[in-house]
Amino acid sequence: MYYKSSSLHPIPYTIHPKNNILQQYFQIFATLLVVIILLSPDVCQAAKKQKQNFYYETKNLLDISDPIGDDKGNGYYQYPLDKRLKRGTFDIKNFRVYEEGEVIVFEIQMRNYILRTWEDTGKSDDQGFVANLWDIYIDIDGIEKSGYDEALPGRSVLFADKMGWEKVVLISPMNYSALEEILREKTDELSFQDCIDDIVVADYVELQGDKVISKISKLKLPRISEKSGFQCFSLGYKNIVSGNRLLNRDIKAFPTQDDFGGGSNNYGEPTVIDMIVPNDENQYKLLNNFTTASFEDNIRYAEVPFVYANGNRVSPAVEVLRRAPMQTQTANPPVQQPVVNNTQIQQQPTIPYMQPVNQNTAPTNNENKATPANTNGFMRLQPNQQIQQNQQNRQNQQNLTNKVKQNNQPTQKNQNVPNGFMPVKKK
C-alpha cells in the first residue's frame, strides 16, 4: 500500500491488478515480435552471409576453390608406390590469402588431413608434417614483363601471359635455417642464385587438420595488395637436391617407391601435382602443353597463369591498360562539320567532259547524244550548243568553199595545141 502526500492527510493508493496483467501481456507480445523478426528468412540469410572473423582478418586478397580429385598433374600422373601416401594427400581444395594486421596469411586447405607423421615409424619433421611441399608465387605489381618468368628448379614450369613473380613463399617440412643453407649452397644454376633473395622461407607454419597456415611479415612482401596475383603449387616432398630437383619428388614413366609415375624418362615434364587455376581454365590442358627431350635446349616447358582477384587471369593493371585506348577514343569523338544552308552555297557550273573528236570523220548535224561518263581526261571548253554551232558554221564554210572551187575550175587543155598553149581568139 502506497500513500500520496497531501497537506491535509495521507490518502491510501494501491496498484490495480488489471494494470499488472496488461504489463505482462505487453512484455509477452514484445518478446514474440522480436522472435518473429529474428526468425524471418531475410534476417537468417543475412546472418549466414556475414562471415565471422575469428582471425582478425583486415583485407581479403584472394579466396579460390580448386576442384577435388585433380591431383594428377597433367591428368596422367600416378601416386608413388609408398602406401603411406594416399590419394588426396596432394590435392588442393581451397587457397586463401588475407591480411591480418602487419602480416600476410596464406591458408591452404587439402582434401585429406595433413600427414603429420609416418605411420610405420611415427617420426615427424621440423615443421610438424612430412610429405607435402608448397610453392606460392606472388606477382606483386601485376605488370607484364616484370619479375621472374620461370618457377623454382625442379618444377619445369614457366609462367604465361608475359607475367612473372617478384616473391615466392616456400613451405616445406624443413626448418628455416636448414632450408636457407640448402638454397645458398645450390650453385649449379647461376640464374637461381640471382633470385635467392626473393625466396621467402616460411618460418611460421600452423597445422589445423586439413589446413596449413603460414604467416609472413609484410616487410618481406612489400607492395602486396589486392591487385597482386598468386599461384600455388602442391608437390611431393623429398629431401633431395640435384641439378633438376629442389626438395621435390620426380616424375617417371612408372611409379616407384619415391617418385610419381605416368610421365617419361626424359626431362621437361612438370612436377606439379596440383595447382590453382583461373576461372574457366583447365589444369590438365595447361600442364599437358610441353615437350620433353634429352637435352635442355630442345625442351618446351608448360606455361601456367597467375590467379588474380575474383579468379581472373588478367591482372587489374593490364586490364586498365587494355581499356585505356577505348576510353581515349570515347573521350575524343570525331568533330562534326557544321551544317550549312544550301542557299548560301553558290552553285558552280559543272564543266562537262567529252571524248576527243576523230579528225578523219566529219561532224554530223544531228549530234545530240549525251556525253559518256568516261571522257579519257579531255575537258570540253565550251557549252554543247556553242560547239554544235561552231561545227555547223565550219560545215557551211566547207560547203561554200567546195561550190566556189567548182565554179572557178580552169579550162581544160586542148590536146591539139602544142606545148599546151591555147590560141588567142581574135576579135
What are 287-303's pLDDT values in tens digits?
Answer: 999 999 988 889 999 99
How much is the pLDDT for 244? 84
Helix (H, G, I), strand (E, B) or coil at 414: coil
Tens-digit pLDDT profile for residues 191-222: 888 899 999 999 889 999 999 999 999 999 99
Domain 59-322 CATH (choose: 3.30.160.250, 2.160.20.10, 2.60.40.1190, 1.20.81.30):
2.60.40.1190
CA pair distance 304, 283, nearest whole angstrom: 9
**Secondary structure of 71-121 in HEC code, one letter for each residue:** CCCCCCCECCCCCCCCCCCCCEEEEEEEEECCEEEEEEEECCCCCCCCCCC
> Cβ(196)–Cβ(183) under 8 Å?
yes
What confidence score (pLDDT) does residue 118 get? 96
Distance CA 21, CA 25 (A): 6
Q: Cβ–Cβ contacts within 10 Å for residue 16, how many?
A: 8
3-state helix, strand, coil in the chain (%, to 5): 25, 25, 50
- Bridge partners, residue 11, by sequence: 4
C-alpha–C-alpha distance, residues 133 and 233, integer Å: 8
Q: Is the dihedral angle over the CA atoms 394, 399, 402, 408 positive or is it negative? A: negative
Q: Could you tell me the three cell numbers for 346?
A: 553558290
Residue carrying the nine cell digits 522472435: 35
From CA 128, how far away is CA 277, in angstroms rounded? Answer: 28
pLDDT at 427: 46
Owner of C-alpha cell 496498484: 15
Q: What local confidence, expressed as pLDDT, does residue 159 receive?
A: 98
DSSP letter, residue 169: E
Surface-to-core class of residue 49, CB atoms within 10 Å of its CB (0-12 exposed, 13-18 middle, 19+ buried): exposed
Query: Domain limits of the chain?
Result: 2-49, 59-322
Cβ atoms within 10 A of the Cβ of 314, count? 16
For 297-357, strand residue ranges (E) read 302-304
Q: Which of 103, 92, 98, 102 lies closest to 63 in space, CA to CA?
A: 98
Q: What is the pLDDT along the chain (427 residues), one digit of tens a residue?
A: 444 444 445 555 455 555 667 777 777 878 888 777 767 666 556 555 545 455 578 899 999 999 999 999 999 999 999 999 999 999 999 999 999 999 999 999 999 999 999 999 999 999 999 999 999 999 999 999 999 999 999 999 999 999 999 999 999 999 999 999 999 988 777 888 889 999 999 988 999 999 999 999 999 999 999 999 999 999 999 999 988 899 999 999 999 999 999 998 899 999 999 999 999 999 999 999 999 998 888 999 999 999 999 999 999 999 998 887 666 555 566 555 555 555 444 555 555 544 554 544 444 444 444 444 444 555 555 556 666 777 777 778 777 777 656 665 555 555 554 555 555 554 4
What is the pLDDT at residue 188?
76
